[in-house]
Homo-oligomer: A and B are copies of this chain.
Amino acid sequence: MTDAADQSSTPDHLEAITQALNSGMFVHVRRMLQQMRPGDVAWLLESSPAPSRKVLWQLIDPDDYGEILEELSEEVRDGIIRLMAPEKLAVALEDMESDDLAYVLRDLPEQLFNQVLTEMDEQDRHRAELALSYPEDTAGSLMNTEFISLRPDVTIEVVLRYLRLHNELPEGTDTLYVVDQHNRLLGDISLASLVVQSPTTTVAEAMDTTVEAIPLTMSDTEVANLFERHDWLSAPVVDEQNQLLGRITIDDVVDIIREEGEHSMMGMAKMDDDEDTFAPVLVSARRRSFWLAINLGSALVAASVSNMFEATLSQLATLAILMTIVPSMGGIAGNQTLALVIRGMAVGHISDSNARWLLTKEALVGLFNGMLWALAISVVVGLWKGSWEIGLVIAAAMFINLSVAGLAGASIPIIMKRFNIDPALAGSMALTTITDTVGLLSFLGLATLILLH
C-alpha cells in the first residue's frame, strides 16, 4: 500500500502509450499493444480515461479480445462490450474458461445475452448454459470444467504417456484427479508429486487420499478462506454424490480476495466498489448520490434532535459550539469496533460460540474509552470555557456515547448479518446515526437539565 507509487516498469509503459496515442501514432500503439500480455492490456484500459479506451480497443487485435475481456473489471468491461457487435462478442467469448464465460455472460443485458448465445456454436452454448446454472457467488460458478482425471489402476508411466498426447494441459493445471468408474473422487496427485514417482508406481499408490473436495454450493467467501488457510493452488469441486464436476483455481480466488478487500474499504467510505476510477463525471456523480441522499437523511435526523433543544441553544451559544465533539468521538469509536467485527466475520473468525465474548469485550472497551475521554474532554472544556459545570455535562455525554458506540459497533454487524444485510455497506451509516443521536441527546439533554434549571 505504502509504495504503490513506485511501480517501475508499467507506468512507464502507460506513459509511452498515452503519449503515442495523443500524438496520433496509431500504428505504433497497435504494435506496442500486440507485444503486451492480456493482463497488461486490461490494466492499461482500466488506467485510461473513458474516451481513450474506445480508441485503444479499436487498435487491439480482435484475436486477443476474449483474453482481455476476461481480465477486465466489471464496469470497464461493460463499457467495452457496448462497443462490440453481438457476433464479434460471441467469437471473443468462445475461448474463455467456463467460469469466466459465465461471469461475463451473467452481466449482459438480456437482449444482448440472447443474441450472443444464439451466435455461439452448440458446444459453447451448452458449456455456457451449464456454467450459468450454478448460483452466482458459489463454488459452482467459480469452477471450470476442464481438468484431467485418471483411473487408480494405471502406472505413472502410462499417465506420462497419456499426458504427452496433449499439446498442453488445461490452463492452471497443477494437480490431476483420480476418480472411480462412476466419476467419484478418490484422491489427487499433484504434478510436483507425479514427477518424483517411479514410473512403475500405480496412481493408487501415489495419490493423496486426504484431498478435501469443495461442495458445489459452498459460498465463494468460504472457498477463498479455505484456499488461504491451506495454501491451495487448486481444489476439486464435487456434487452431493462426491462426483467430480470441476476445479477451482487460485487465480479466481485471488480476484475474490481482492474484491472483498475493496468491497469493505469502499463500503466504509460509502462507495460502490464497482465504480470505475476513470468513469465519466455524470456516471460517477449519479453512482454516489445514493449514499449522499442517505447521509442527508441521517444529518437531518441529527438536526431534528438538536432542534428539540432550540430554547437551550439560544440561551447558551457555547453549547452549540461544543455539541459536535461528542457525536464525532462516538462515530470514530463505533466505527473502529465495527471495522474489527466486519473483518473478523469476513475471515470467518466470528461464530455463535465467541460472539458473546466479543460483544462483552467491545462493550468494556467502550466503557473504558468512555471514562478516559470523558476525563480528557472535561479538562479541555473546563480550561477553555472556564466552566466546570459544562465540563461535567460534556464528560457525562462522552461517557454515555462511547459506551453506546462500543455496544452498537459490535452488535450492528452481527444483527445485520442475521437479516442478510451487508454490514460493510450499511453498517457505518446506521452506526453514525445512532452515535449522532445519542451524542446530541445526552449532551443537550443533560445541559438543559443541569445548566438551565
Contact = CB atoms under 8 A, between A and B. Distances in A.
Copy total for this chain:
2
Is the contact region of chain A dominated by helix, strand, or loop, or is it mixed? helix
A192 B164 contact: no
Given A1-B260, A174-B233, A228-B258, 9 more contacts: A4-B417, A14-B353, A49-B361, A164-B198, A169-B195, A269-B339, A269-B428, A311-B317, A324-B436
**In which size bucket is the chain A interface?**
35 or more
10 contacts: A4-B221, A4-B346, A43-B229, A47-B348, A268-B339, A270-B336, A281-B365, A302-B324, A310-B318, A310-B321
Contacts of A350: 47, 277
Contact of A344 (B227, B277, B340, B342): B277
A3 B219 contact: yes
A14 B351 CA distance: 8
A420 interface: yes
Given A2-B420, A257-B254, A348-B7, A48 B195 contact: no
Contacts of A373: 292, 296
Given A219-B6, A296-B329, A346 B268 contact: no
Interface in A294-343: 295-296, 298-300, 302-303, 306-307, 310-311, 313-314, 317-325, 327-329, 332-333, 335-336, 338-343
B251 A254 contact: no
Interface in A161-208: 163-164, 166-169, 172-174, 191-198
A27 interface: no
A228 B192 CA distance: 23
A215 B422 CA distance: 41
Given A231-B172, A281-B365, A353 B18 contact: yes
A288 B369 contact: yes
B306 A321 contact: yes
A95 interface: no
Interface in A1-51: 1-8, 10-11, 14-15, 18-19, 37, 39-40, 42-43, 46-49
Interface in A378-417: 380, 417
A119 interface: no
Q: Ordered nearest first, which 4 A-B pairs have the shortest CB separation?
A: A261-B261, A320-B320, A269-B339, A314-B317
Contact of A278 (B15, B71, B343, B358): B358
A317 B198 CA distance: 87
Contacts of A48: 354
Contacts of A5: 345, 417-418
B310 A361 contact: no
B349 A47 contact: yes
Given A18-B354, A195-B169, A269-B338, A361 B324 contact: no
Nearest to A258: B257
A265 B1 contact: no
A177 to B, nearest CB: 14
A150 interface: no
Nearest to A345: B4
B196 A164 contact: yes
B336 A40 contact: no
A424 interface: yes
A372 B325 CA distance: 28
